[in-house]
């Protein structure tokens, strides 16, 4: 098929709401690859148009890989399969292509076939993190939480600093109502990223679920840390208020209850300030705060 001219490509991009040149489109996809951004709809549009344009050199195969993932995200299995076939021909036996093949099987609902493919790949490449994580994803989708936990634990014995794996393991332990182990996983994440407000928020939520006095104190402390790191974290603000109410419902010295009351009043004021400009939202928040009592 004859490559399309630059002017034709720009016209097509304008038709999908994008006014960019070939070089701009390539640079956009390149930056998304480097930053791990998945703007699936835009990525699919740009990728398909570029693959029909002038020669892309070696970058063509990276774009094909992006197109496969973006197409699966948007449910376009035919497009994903076409790019997968192009990659298979260019890189027969590639482990990265094998992973994409498994993802296409997952996308079409053939989970057992995908699981067999991943296990076969891991037999010959036991330290392939990407394929190992895909296997965990299937086990989780099948409801095999215990097996998924076992696989992630084994993965982390080899790759102890894999932050994504620690976060996933924390989530799986939470699903299994094993909050103490979920808390341990999140403590590891906080060690890696002490200034990440979402890790502190998640840890605070798990500590609250422990249902202990110590857990409540840790929860309040880490909701407060999350708010220090990101004052716009409304979930952490609401959690801070909730924990303070819960603490006051227990037998506490008068000075502790007085402190908690100050925390509650401060949090309620901050929540109302954040929602007072919203259409009807302030009234909803006030009802939520009243329900805590």
Higher pLDDT, 269 or 229: 229
pLDDT digits (tens, 9 = 90+) for 55-106: 788 899 999 999 999 999 999 999 999 999 999 999 998 999 999 999 999 9
Q: Considering the entire predicted model, what is its pTM? A: 0.79
Whether 211 shows a pLDDT value over 80: the answer reads: yes
Arithmetic mean of pLDDT, 230-259: 86
CA distances from 233 to 31, 64, 151, 183, 227 (A): 28, 37, 33, 20, 6
pLDDT, tens digit, for every residue of 232-241? 899 999 999 9
pLDDT beyond 80 at 289:
no
Domain parsing of the chain, residue ranges:
1-90, 93-142, 195-293
Mean pLDDT of the chain: 87
Are 19 and 10 in contact, with CB atoms under 8 Å apart? yes
Task: Name all contacts of 274-277 with Cβ < 8 Å and 24+ positions apart.
Answer: 274/232, 274/234, 274/237
Q: CA-to-CA distance for 46 and 50, rounded, in angstroms?
A: 6
């Amino acid at each position: 098929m004859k490559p399309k001219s630059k002017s034709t490509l720009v016209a097509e991009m304008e038709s999908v709401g994008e006014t960019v040149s070939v070089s701009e489109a390539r640079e956009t996809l390149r930056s998304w690859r480097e930053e791990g951004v998945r703007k699936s709809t835009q990525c699919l549009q740009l990728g398909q148009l570029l693959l029909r344009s002038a020669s892309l050199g070696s970058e063509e195969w990276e774009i094909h890989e992006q197109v496969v993932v973006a197409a699966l995200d948007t449910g376009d299995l035919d497009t994903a399969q076409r790019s997968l076939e192009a990659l298979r021909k260019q890189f027969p036996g590639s482990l990265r292509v094998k992973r994409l093949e498994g993802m296409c099987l997952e996308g079409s609902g053939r989970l057992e076939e995908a699981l067999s493919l991943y296990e076969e790949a891991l037999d010959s490449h036991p330290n392939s993190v990407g394929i190992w994580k895909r296997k965990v994803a299937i086990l989780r989708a099948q409801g095999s939480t215990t097996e998924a936990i076992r696989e992630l634990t084994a993965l982390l014995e080899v790759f102890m600093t894999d932050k994504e794996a620690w976060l996933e393991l924390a989530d799986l332990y939470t699903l299994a109502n094993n909050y103490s182990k979920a808390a341990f996983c999140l403590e590891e994440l906080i060690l890696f990223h002490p200034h990440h407000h979402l890790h502190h928020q998640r840890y605070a939520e798990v500590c609250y679920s422990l249902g202990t006095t110590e857990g409540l104190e840790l929860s309040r402390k880490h909701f407060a840390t999350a708010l220090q790191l990101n004052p716009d974290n409304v979930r952490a603000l609401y959690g801070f208020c909730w924990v303070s109410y819960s603490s006051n419902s227990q037998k506490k010295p008068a000075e502790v209850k007085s402190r908690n009351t100050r925390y509650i009043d401060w949090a309620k004021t901050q929540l109302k300030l954040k929602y007072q400009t919203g259409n009807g939202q302030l009234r909803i928040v006030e009802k939520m705060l009243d329900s805590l009592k």
